[in-house]
Amino acid sequence: MQSLDVTPRVWDRLLAVRAGQACACCGVWSAGEQAALALYGPLARRDLGPAIVAQIGQSLDGRIATVAGDARDVSGQGGLAHLHRLRALVDGVVIGVGTALHDDPRLTVRLCPGPNPARIVIDPRGRLPDDAPMLRDDGVRRIVIQAVNRARPAGVEVIRMPLGERFFPARSVLQVLREAGVHSLLIEGGGITISRFLEARLLKRLHVAVAPLLIGAGPAALTTQRPELRLADCIRPETRVFSLGTDVLFDCALSDDAVGAASPVHGHAGAGLPSAPRSGFSAKVGVAANLTAES
C-alpha cells in the first residue's frame, strides 16, 4: 500500500498537469508525493483523452449510507479530501437524483485549491426542487439531464433525453455531455448511477474508498442489473492500493488505456526514485484472487 502525501507543491504540479502545462513525472519528489502523482496524474492528464472516473466511499461491509439515507460521514477526512481533489481534476461531476435529494450536495471544491467542476444531475422525472444547493448560481455550469418537460431556473442548462426503458443508456449520457463540452467526468454517486456506467463499461477508473466502519444495512455501493453467476466472469480490475490516512483507497483500472495511463510520460518517475510504470499495480487478480484462494 502506498501512502499519499499531497503537499502544496505536488498539488500545484497536478493542477499544472490538468492545464496541460507540465508532466506528471519529472522532478524530485518524496515517496508520498510520488504516490500522489501516480494516483492523480492519469486523471489530470488531458493528453490521454477524457478521464471517466467513478468514486464511491463505502463502509467495510460495502454500504454507502444507512437505511435512513445518512451518508454524510461514511468517508473520513482523508476520503473527503480525496473526493474534493477528484472534483478539482475533472470538467464535470455527475450524480443521480437520489443523491441530490438525500444529501443536498454542493459538489464544489472546498478542501483543496482548484476549479469547481460543472455540476450535473441525472433526474429523468424532474424530482429535484429548483432550490437544491447544486443548482444555485455561483458562476459554475449546472446541467440537468431529464426526460420530462419541466422548466428549470434561469442559467440551469437542461438536456432532454427520451427515456425508453427505466434508465437512459449511460453511453447516451456521456455523448450529450461531450456535445455540451463536458469531457472528463467524475461519477460521484450514488450506487445506482455508478453501476449504470460500470455495466456499460464506460468507466476508465473506479475509486473505492473503504472507511473502517460497519453499517450493517443500507444501500449497497454497487449493484448491477445483470449479475454474473460465476466469479470467473466477474470484473477483476488491475488495482493499486493507497492509504488516505483515515480510509483505504482501491484505484481500479477498468480498461487497458487506464492501466497504461499509470506510466510516467518521460520514462522515469522522479530523480533518485525507481521508475514504476506498472509496478504499482497488483497482479491481475490481486486482492480478489487472494480472497478466493483463502476462502
Ligand X SMILES: NC(=O)c1ccc[n+]([C@@H]2O[C@H](COP(=O)([O-])OP(=O)(O)OC[C@H]3O[C@@H](n4cnc5c(N)ncnc54)[C@H](OP(=O)(O)O)[C@@H]3O)[C@@H](O)[C@H]2O)c1
- Measure the CA–CA gap between 170 and 195, rounded to whole angstroms: 10
Q: Is 196 in the site for ligand X (CB under 6 A)?
A: yes
Tell me whether residue 56 or residue 262 sits nearer to ligand X (CB atom): 56
Q: Is 186 in the site for ligand X (CB under 6 A)?
A: no
For residue 33, the minimal CB distance to ligand X (Å) is 26
- Measure the CA–CA gap between 57 and 76, rounded to whole angstroms: 9
Tell me whether residue 214 or residue 271 sits nearer to ligand X (CB atom): 214
For residue 80, the minimal CB distance to ligand X (Å) is 10
Q: Is 250 in the site for ligand X (CB under 6 A)?
A: no
- Measure the CA–CA gap between 201 and 104, rounded to whole angstroms: 28
Q: Is 78 in the site for ligand X (CB under 6 A)?
A: no
Tell me whether residue 169 or residue 277 sits nearer to ligand X (CB atom): 169
Tell me whether residue 218 or residue 280 sits nearer to ligand X (CB atom): 218
Q: Is 74 in the site for ligand X (CB under 6 A)?
A: yes
Contacts of 58 (CB under 8 A, 6+ apart): 64, 74, 208, 209, 210, 211, 221
Contact, 200 vs 171, CB < 8 A?
Answer: yes
Q: Is the peptide bond before 189 cis (omega within 30 degrees of 0)?
A: no
Contact, 272 vs 28, CB < 8 A?
Answer: yes
- Applying CB under 6 A, the span of 30-38, 191-199, 240-248, 271-279 interacting with ligand X comes to 191-199
Q: Is 150 in the site for ligand X (CB under 6 A)?
A: no
Tell me the longest C-alpha to C-alpha distance in the chain.
59
Tell me whether residue 34 or residue 99 sits nearer to ligand X (CB atom): 99
- Measure the CA–CA gap between 168 and 69, rounded to whole angstroms: 24
Give the residues lining the site for ligand X (CB under 6 A).
56-57, 64-65, 69, 71, 74, 95-99, 102-103, 122, 124-125, 127, 167-168, 170, 173, 188-193, 196, 219
